[in-house]
Chains A and B, each alone.
Chain A
Amino acid sequence: MSTKNRITRRSAFALGGATMAAAGLAACGGNTGGLTGGGGSDGGGGALSQWYHQYGEEGTQQAANSYAADYPDAKVTVNWVTGDYATKLSTALLSGGGVDVFENNGIAVDQAEQGRYVDLTDIMEPAKGSFNEASLGPVTIGDKIWGVPMIVDPQHFYYRKSLFEAAGIEVPTTWEDLVAAATELTTDKQKGLFLGNNFDANAWAMVWAAGGSPLNEAKDAVAYNTPGYAEGLGSIHTMQKDGVLLTGAPSDWTDPAAFSSGLSAITWGGCWALPALEAAHDDIGVFPHPAVGSGGKEVAFMGGWNAQVAGNSENIEAAKEFVKWLWIDQTEHQTDWSLSYGFHIPPVTATADQAEALKTGNGLEIATMAKEIGVTGTPEWTGAMDTPRLDAVSNILKNGADPAEELAKAEKASNEAMAS
């Protein structure tokens, strides 16, 4: 090889530099919806990236874009995240992946301690009196508030009134009644009950319905293992074996399609499905999760979404201002977001009180459930504590494992995870 063909040290450095520059440019090309630079001509508040999960209701993405466009103080780019939102968000919050404002349905104390979220107490403190009290539980850790409730989504059962009337069945208030009703309504063409394709859609709400809670009052041990919980989970397995449950449906419980098309007489669902169901049928009814076991109580599980600011945002103050503007100060977009596309309860009490959809019929019943028997998760509940419970539920429901034994093992493992 001739000397002139051999690479020199200088040309090797030049080549390496060019490669790094190319890699840098390639990285810039990714559409991460991230920060595109602060200040400048976009209003002085900088450019913000706002993340939403993919809502199923038509028109929601356009609405989110229009709210962002209406904000006068910064250029806000909406990133509509499809697929596994929780994992993508988690990774972005960990790595600083271009998210400033985001919605979250599961604030966890460990993630708050790790600095993933910004403390929003200063913007929430003056306004918290105007929020539905139950909506503040999942975003409050001690005396700090980490999120602004955007919507409240009670989960409950839907049923077909005409089928109940034809069979002479009353609306169930106990789990036993519900099992009996589902069994009675099961025919060749229609199953009695849909609890999702994994039969576990109501397994979290059942913790409260069976008289337990995720954590005890002192919050130093888990408290989901109750005799009622074991009894309730065991009976789901029995229903599955007896062919009472709908399984293998093309869509899962969050989508009302399976129930709407008549595949089951009763289903676990969320309030967001109400408009679609009422458009399809004129005999839709709702009832809360019935009491399970002797120590149980009727409950509606209050899911929901909260607006938060990323701890690694480079534009925290501007992000907080935007969250305050959108979800605290003005009410027009809040009402629109809650009631124009699907059906959600606005967490601001005054806004909810003025919503016509919550004053009659099923809307009123759901709002009443949320107000009177709504239960919510707690930020102290972490993924590490939940994994043993989820495994136990799966083993009981799918494999017929002994419920009391499985829950006892899970309780021990959850407590160990809590202590570690």
Chain B
Amino acid sequence: MSVQAPARARGRAPDRTGPTRIKGNGLAFWLFFTPFLVGLVVFTIVPLIWGATLSLFEAKGTVLPTDFVGLANFRHFLVDTAFLKSLRTFTVFALFIVPVTMVCSLGLAVLVNGLPRFQSFYRSVFFLPTACSYVVACVVWRLSLFNGLESGIVNQILGAFGLDAISQWLSASPYWWIVLVSVRLWLQVGFYMLLFLAGLQAIPSQLYEAAAVDGLSPGGFRMFRLITLPQLRTTFAAVLLLLLIAAFQAFDEFYNLTGNNPETRPPLVYLYNIALGSQQDFGTGSAGALVLTAIMVVAGLLQTGLLGFGSNDEGRRRFALRLRRGGRSSR
């Protein structure tokens, strides 16, 4: 089997800016593409269509639609206080986890980027927790670090500072937020550090040299504020979007650490209980999943428009202008 060489392997790059067309042996293309296509159809497209269909039907204890109920399953979520409370839980969680992860991962990236030696070692060390399972991390957090006894590691540290041991790490607010945020922070900070590190290393060194010529001290905070931060804007927008989506999808640590507590039950745990817990109500669960998806899409579009993920400043200004015009016309 011969593989056809790219048409313009050498010489000037093509002018067009659209997606690169895959060229080569047709059989090879289908060989690589078919498993992906089958996976996409079986695990994403069919369940999506199936879920959308179920959301319009009653489907209790069965994954097959039974009685058509129209939008009743969707209306349920508008008045369901438990679901609205789960959205509040997500909001509180996102308010903690998103900024904390951004600051920590940016800080680590700046520190690692500034290392003269052993940079790859520290990069790997901070990235390693990403490979750990949430369930395993939750067990360690619950049994060892945030054990409610005096022998718990965090309680021992508190004791060393003369503070009382806390026995309610997982049973009282605000302690449970410390446990929930810290476990996710530990697991994901390394990944976002890598994104920031890539962003930092893509900043042209000439910018720093020019700024130094203009009087900014190299490595100083003003250099960081005036050169580094603006250059990382696109990375910030991408990290923010990814962090928000990840926070919306939070499940494992809540399910494993605080169980079915209504105060710490994010939307996915709530929907899991409806569809796959004791209720087995797949119609309502599917409607809830679509409501959540809609919220995430709207949040993503708003953020993309406001922060300009993948667009230029002009695009952002136009989006803001459209929003303002929309607001005026609605008044």
Contacts and interface: CB of A to CB of B under 8 A. Distances in A.
Interface in A6-22: 6-7, 11-12, 15-16, 19-20
Contact of A394 (B31, B146, B263, B281): B263
A102 to B, nearest CB: 16
The B interface is mostly helix, strand or loop, or mixed, namely loop
A387 B31 CA distance: 49
B148 A249 contact: yes
Given A5-B26, A394-B263, A87 B277 contact: yes
Chain A CB within 10 Å — which of B24, B38, B82, B171 has the most?
B171
B293 interface: no
B149 A114 contact: no
Interface string A189-213: 0000000011100000000000000
Contacts of A81: none
Contacts of B281: 384
A15 B63 contact: no
A364 interface: no
- Please tell me the size bucket of the interface on B: 35 or more
A243 B31 CA distance: 64
Nearest to A390: B260
B148 A247 contact: yes
Contacts of A399: 173, 263
Contact of B149 (A7, A15, A23, A250): A250
Contacts of B279: 382-384, 387
B149 A94 contact: no
A248 B171 contact: yes
Contacts of A20: 38
A249 B143 CA distance: 8
B38 A383 contact: no
Contacts of A5: 2, 4, 25-27
A95 interface: yes
Nearest to B27: A7
B175 to A, nearest CB: 9
A249 B155 CA distance: 13
Contacts, number: 111
A90 interface: yes
A228 B266 CA distance: 32
A382 B278 contact: yes
Contact of B82 (A94, A106, A248, A391): A391
Interface in A379-395: 382-384, 386-387, 390-391, 394-395
B91 interface: no
B273 interface: yes
Nearest to A392: B262
Interface in B1-27: 2, 4, 23-27
Nearest to B281: A384
Nearest to B35: A19
**Interchain residue pairs A-B with the least CB separation, the first 4:** A248-B148, A383-B278, A7-B26, A114-B61
Interface of B: 2, 4, 23-27, 29-31, 34-35, 38, 60-63, 82, 143, 146-149, 152, 166-173, 259-263, 273, 276-281
Given A5-B25, A247-B171, 18 more contacts: A15-B30, A16-B34, A19-B35, A91-B276, A110-B60, A111-B61, A114-B61, A114-B62, A116-B61, A197-B171, A198-B261, A247-B167, A248-B146, A382-B278, A386-B278, A387-B278, A395-B262, A398-B261
